């Protein structure tokens, strides 16, 4: 039986940095933000919208207090940065017996990147992008049949349990958005 694990972090284990002001007017950063030393590939700041301006009578236009803006990103795979791959891959996972590392192999039959690579540039790597950030690999190979590109195989290597958990979070989002399901062989 296959099990999925996720990483839980308590608020007491997160380091905080002093409040920073955002350079754009009307936007301020959250009072407690995660420091870059947490080894996250995400480098953005959570944003808040300034409260609505007071009307002439001194009342707010809205009764709701402003909350954090959460930017959701549809999970995508790219070979050329900025160009989403439309072909849904076959994904094969292997994990070491002790659970410390693993490999995900993605096989794309007739990927759409071959249709646009001539006009948009060369394949620069394998990028898995979601709301947490970017997972990337340069282990990408193309298979040719009769001189024409037929398939791309990309490998993503996970060397720690933390990398495995992060990859599984991406795959949960990607599979939900693209109708994939897990089949254990």
In which residue ranges of the chain is CATH 2.40.30.220 found? Answer: 76-178
Q: How crowded is residue 75: how many other Cβ atoms within 10 Å of its Cβ?
A: 20
Residues 6+ positions from 134 with CB-CB distance below 8 Å:
41, 127, 128
- Outline where the chain has alpha helix (H): 113-120, 161-178
C-alpha torsion sign, points 129, 130, 131, 132: negative
Q: How far apart are CA 73 and CA 174, in angstroms?
A: 11
Question: What pLDDT is attached to residue 64?
Answer: 54
Q: What percent of the chain has pLDDT over 70?
A: 59
pTM: 0.60
Q: Give yes or no for residue 60 having a pLDDT over 90.
A: no
**76-178: which CATH architecture?**
Beta Barrel (2.40)
Token pair, residue 160, equals: 């720690």
């Amino acid at each position: 039986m296959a099990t999925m694990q996720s990483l839980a972090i308590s608020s007491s284990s997160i380091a905080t940095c002093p409040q920073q002001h955002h350079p754009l007017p009307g936007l301020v950063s959250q009072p407690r933000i995660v420091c870059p030393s947490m080894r996250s590939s995400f480098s953005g700041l959570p944003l808040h919208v300034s409260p609505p301006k007071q009307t002439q009578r001194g009342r707010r236009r809205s009764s709701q207090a402003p909350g954090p803006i959460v930017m959701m990103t549809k999970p995508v795979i790219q070979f050329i940065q900025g160009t989403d791959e439309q072909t849904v891959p076959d994904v094969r996972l292997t994990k070491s017996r002790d659970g410390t590392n693993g490999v995900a192999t993605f096989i794309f039959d007739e990927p759409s990147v071959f249709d646009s690579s001539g006009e948009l540039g060369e394949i620069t790597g394998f990028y898995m992008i979601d709301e947490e950030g970017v997972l990337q690999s340069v282990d990408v190979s193309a298979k040719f049949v009769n001189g024409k590109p037929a398939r791309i195989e990309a490998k993503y290597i996970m060397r720690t349990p933390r990398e495995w958990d992060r990859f599984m979070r991406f795959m949960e989002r990607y599979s939900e958005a693209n109708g994939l399901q897990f089949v254990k062989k």
